[in-house]
Structures are given as C-alpha cells and as structure tokens.
Chain A
Amino acid sequence: MTLTVSTDRRDGGILYLIVTGEVDLATADVLQQGIAAGLEADDVPGIVVDLTEVTFLDSSGIRVLLKGRRSAEERAKSYLVDAPRGVARRILDLSGVREHLAYQGTEGR
C-alpha cells in the first residue's frame, strides 16, 4: 500500500504530477496535497496528473481527481488527468468521469 507523487516542470511551466502505486483511502491525501500544492503555486499555469503507473484506484481517488478539476476551474488553471492506459483508465471510464477530468484554463496570464 504505497503511493508516490513525483513532480516535473515542463511545457511552459506546466506541473506534471507523476503518480505511482495505489490510490486508495489511505493514500488519497498524498495525491490531494500534491494537486493542491500545484494549483496554489502562483507560477504554475496548470497541472497534469499522470496516472499511467497507478496500479489501484478506488472511489476516494476519483473524488480527489474530481475535486482537483473543480479547484483548477476556480483558479482558472489548466488541469488534465492523463491515463492513457492501464488500471486507472479503465476505472475512470467505468465511473463515467474520464472525459470530465480536463479543463482548459486561461494560460499565459
């Protein structure tokens, strides 16, 4: 039961959160803090949450991802949950949320 979130700045300051491991009730806070820290930083125009290496994702993780998108919208920052394949993509599709986890902020303010 481990989760790591590493960060990387790319593409004009966009913050990439690379999430590895299991996102569940016990670890969802770690992801939430990573997303919140990224959205609160003044010099971050947007974030990408990369779930490619996630091996488990339950409803507490989905809640964090949805709240993240709402918070990005409030701050007019771009937000994208990237789950090109694997466990996370399947679960986001089954829950009907994947298409809602992208928001185009007002970049280049």
Chain B
Amino acid sequence: MTDAALSHLDVEDLLVELLDRVREILNVDTATVLLLDPSGQQLVATAARGLEEEVRQGVRIPVGAGFAGRVAAGGQPVRIEHVDPTNVVNPILLDKGIASMLGVPMIVAGRVIGVLHVGTLTPRWFSDDDVDLLQRVADRISLATQARLASIDRATTVALQRSLLPGRLGMIDGIDAAARYVPGAEVGVGGDWYDLFVLPSGHVGAVIGDVAGNGLQAAVVMSRIRSALRAYALESNDPAEVLTRLDRKIQLFEPDAMATVVYAVLDPTRDQAVMSVAGHLPPVLAEPGRPARLLDVPVDLPLGAYPYTRRRTVDVPLTHDSLVLFYTDGLIERPTRPIDQGLELLVGALTPGSAERVCATLMAALIGDEPTKDDVAILVLHNGHQ
C-alpha cells in the first residue's frame, strides 16, 4: 500500500490497515497500537486487529505497568514467551488465550508516542529478526501517526478559533466594532482572542486576551477562559472583580496556564469605560481633535501568575466619536525593532474612521506584507453611532 493511498485515512483507519499488514508479515494472531495520552501517563488502545475489544472497551494501561507499560517506560522491545497474570495486567489478553507477545516502542524524535505489540495464540519465541522487523514497522507507523495527529490538531485548532472569533462584528448596541485575527507564520494559530458582548444591564463588555502557548492546547485553554469570563461578566459589572474570579478559576483548574487580558466594561450611556488590565499591553484611545495616545492604565499581573493578586480598575471617559483599540503583542513586537517604536507606529497609525476602516489601516501599517511570528488579534470600538 502506498503512502498516497494511505494519506486520506483517519488515524484509526490508517493504523488498522497497517496492522493487517503486520499480522500477515509476522504471521501473528493479534496486532495492537496503543498511543500515549496527552498526560503522558497512560497508553490508550487506539487500533487493534484480532483484539478489537481492546479498542471498543477503551483499554488504558499505565506507563510502567503491565506489558505495554513496560515497553513504553523502557523505550525497548519486550518479549513474553508465556503470557500469565504476573507479566500482563490487561485481562483481555488472558481471556483471549494469548500465549506469546512481542512489543516495541513507537518513537518520534527520541520521544515514545506509543506501543505496537503483536501476539500469538500458540506459544512462540519471537526471534531477533522478528524484533527488528516489528521495530522497523513501528518506526514507519510512528511517523505516519504523528504527522496525521499533527494535521488533525492544526485543523481542529483553526476550526475552534473560527467558531469562537466571529470575523464580522458590525454595530453592537450603538457601538461600531471591528476585529482581526491572524495566525502567526511560525507558531500557527495560538491563544489570542477578542470578545464583545452586551450584558442584560445594558453595559457592553469588551475583551482582548492572549493565552501563552500555541496550537490546540492554547486554543482549548483560551476557549475555556473566554467562556468563563463571559459567565463572570454576567455576575458583576466591575472588571477587576470579573478578572479576580477568572484568575481564581485558572489557578485551580488550569495551573499551567497563563493569560494576559484587558477587560473593559462600557456603561449603558457609553460615556465611560471601566477597564482592568492583567499583564496586557495598554489600549490606545483616539478622540476627535486630539492625537491618539496609549492609555495610562495600572497593569496588574497576568491571570494564572500568582494566587490572590490585587486587581485595579481605571475609568476612561469616552467622548462622542472616540475610538478605543485593543491589541495583542504580536501586532507590535518584532525582533527587528524596539517595542516603543512599535507602540509609536501603532499610535501614529490610529486615525479616526469607521471601525472596519481603522482595522484595515492598522493591519496595513503594522503588518503590511510581512508575516509575523506570533499570532495577532485586534479589536476596535468606535463610540457614538447611536
């Protein structure tokens, strides 16, 4: 079977095809792939031939325990001539009457990603040639699996970002709003996000944030933080209180995560915004007849940094026709210039106009045709189109 013919298959289908080949070549009764779960602590039966119940029952083997667990922990092949309860933990192997087994690690870039094992119903001593052959097959399967999983991760991440970040905001309760999200050239889709919502009280919440990290993991954490923020926003109009609760939630449930956020609450008359800033770059305000400026906001620690962080707010008066710009560091940070130069460029590029036009102008001025390494999000609010 050629790689091209395999290329359209899902991971499980791909593995099942390859396992059938393994059974033929080695003349064995069962062939199974277990992949390491994201925690790195457990092997999960992902594809099996001859032992399909392993997959159907969702067999999980702790790394270090049992037969497959020993293969993964040692990163070395393991042979068992006589299977019995002292050398395997999985009751399915005993129930099926598996007599002999051979398992090899699946390794990509020096890291164990899973285990491939085969078994026979009649006793057999697997030769060194058998071990070499199975290891070569495992190496091929590992690469194919890793590539497939990575491409599924990328597609899922993009889909998740798309579902969470509406491209077009338009008029929201008297506010003309627009936003952009661009994945980074080097890191792909990451953890940046923006949000804008009307609360039952008539207040409007505006959010920009950046979850450290990239890929599916960062996007998933971002989606949880984004919805938790919305939930807390329903309970309080004080942005510092909302971020305090959100921080507490992250400390407990996402101990490895860290996120920077600006949360702004616009009052129902739209003549003031109250903001709280968690480790994020300051928003920019442009009022008619005055040069745009970075807001002088007190910056508290990012979410997830330390427990019980004190959070402050600042009141920002909003005049008619003023613009507020929220952005993530990917917009201004470049290895080739100091950050202050990026901030100056940004402030200089912010000129009055509709939110959509401002977004387009800013992206052209700050990014142009140059790919950014980090992802970029911006949110522009244009006040006073009642």
Known: A25-B187, A66-B302. Contact between A96 and B277, CB under 8 A? yes
Q: Is A37 an interface residue (CB 8 A)?
A: no
Tier of interface size on chain B? 20 to 34
Is the pair B214, A25 in contact by a Cβ cutoff of 8 Å? yes
Residue interface bits B193-231, CB-to-A below 8 A is 1, else 0: 000000000000000001011100000000000000000
Is the pair A24, B374 in contact by a Cβ cutoff of 8 Å? yes
Q: Is A62 an interface residue (CB 8 A)?
A: yes
Q: Is B300 an interface residue (CB 8 A)?
A: yes
Specify which of A55, A60, A70 lies most central, judged by the most chain B CB atoms within 10 Å of its CB: A60
Q: Is B258 an interface residue (CB 8 A)?
A: yes
Residue interface bits B329-357, CB-to-A below 8 A is 1, else 0: 11001010011100000000000000000
Q: Is A50 an interface residue (CB 8 A)?
A: no
Residues of A within 8 A of B340 (CB): 90
Is the pair B212, A59 in contact by a Cβ cutoff of 8 Å? yes
Question: Which partner residue on chain A sits nearest B373 by CB separation?
Answer: A24
Known: A26-B186, A94-B299, A96-B279. Contact between A56 and B333, CB under 8 A? yes
Q: Is A87 an interface residue (CB 8 A)?
A: yes
Known: A25-B187, A60-B213, A63-B212. Contact between A95 and B302, CB under 8 A? yes
Tier of interface size on chain A? 20 to 34
B210 to chain A, nearest CB (A): 5
Tell me the A2-24 residues at the B interface (CB within 8 Å).
22, 24
Tell me the B267-283 residues at the A interface (CB within 8 Å).
277, 279-282
Is the pair B301, A63 in contact by a Cβ cutoff of 8 Å? no
Is the pair B338, A87 in contact by a Cβ cutoff of 8 Å? yes
B371 to chain A, nearest CB (A): 13
Residues of A within 8 A of B333 (CB): 56, 58, 91
Contact of B301 among A58, A59, A66 (CB under 8 A): A66
Separation of A95 and B329 alpha carbons in the complex (Å): 10
Tell me the A51-92 residues at the B interface (CB within 8 Å).
55-56, 58-60, 62-63, 66-67, 70, 87, 90-91
Known: A66-B302, A100-B306. Contact between A55 and B335, CB under 8 A? yes
Contact of B302 among A24, A25, A87, A97 (CB under 8 A): A97
Which 7 A-B residue pairings sit nearest by Cβ, starting from the closest? A96-B299, A63-B212, A63-B258, A56-B335, A66-B305, A95-B279, A60-B212
